[in-house]
Structure 1
């Protein structure tokens, strides 16, 4: 793995993607100071969030033929942050063109999973996300080692196979 590589902005990574982008999320909380999350906690509304940039980035790539799949492994009963993610998935992820599935953590006990959340672009490049214990971002890391790419792709596919489509997942 090479943490010395400059990490391009996410839209640049997507612009260089031609076939697929997969994303595995395994934490129960992210970004504790996220103003959108805090406002949602306060109001229960998502009206304050501007989804335009994300939708444009993803939908432009989908129009070029890129398939986006996101899988989330979650503990149940879910906490506030996962309730927030579930609430915004339809407007944020699905509306942009992503496919999203959810896997209750108890159904992942026998799966070999990498230690960090990640994106894999075109089965060739990984962007690992490193978080602090409270869910704040520490750093991202790029990796193009074929063995690590294969590990992440295999882990994602195992999760995807078991996971429940967003339209059918009812959080506990």
Structure 2
């Protein structure tokens, strides 16, 4: 690619930044919502099951607000919530660590912004990430997180928000071109 039509950034990625990038990705956010709703549904299911057990096994009358069942179901629900959220957080962290080792650890990462095509070429495989309405950029104190598409086929990468003067000039130029396209806005992640 012609140096006049592209801007190349090369940098290393810190593990904590990648874990934060991965944890805030659209797919993981959807997964967290799914786990939350599944847990709430399971809580209601536990209460209904206990209510049916009380009626069928003990022959008691149906009471919607059975205090003992509510307390017992709430305790089981809280234990289930703690277990589920810890397990899902652990799985997310394990996957983030594994991805970091495969993609970033001990390597220099390169992105190239093609000015004419208005797209990023990411990593050694030069995966194309167009600057369009499907691209979301989040700014943290230390990095910019780029998320393209909200599906499993989406691409994520990060760019440090600090560096040498040459690096910062290149980064400013990239954002100048991105904002010129007018399809992408940057949002703050840390408030």
TM range (shorter): under 0.3
Using the size of structure 1 for normalisation, the TM-score is: 0.25
| Structure showing greater relative contact order (alpha-carbon pairs closer than 8 Å, 6 or more residues apart) | 1
Using the size of structure 2 for normalisation, the TM-score is: 0.23
Highest CA radius of gyration, 1 or 2? 2
Q: Which has more helix, going by share of residues?
A: 2
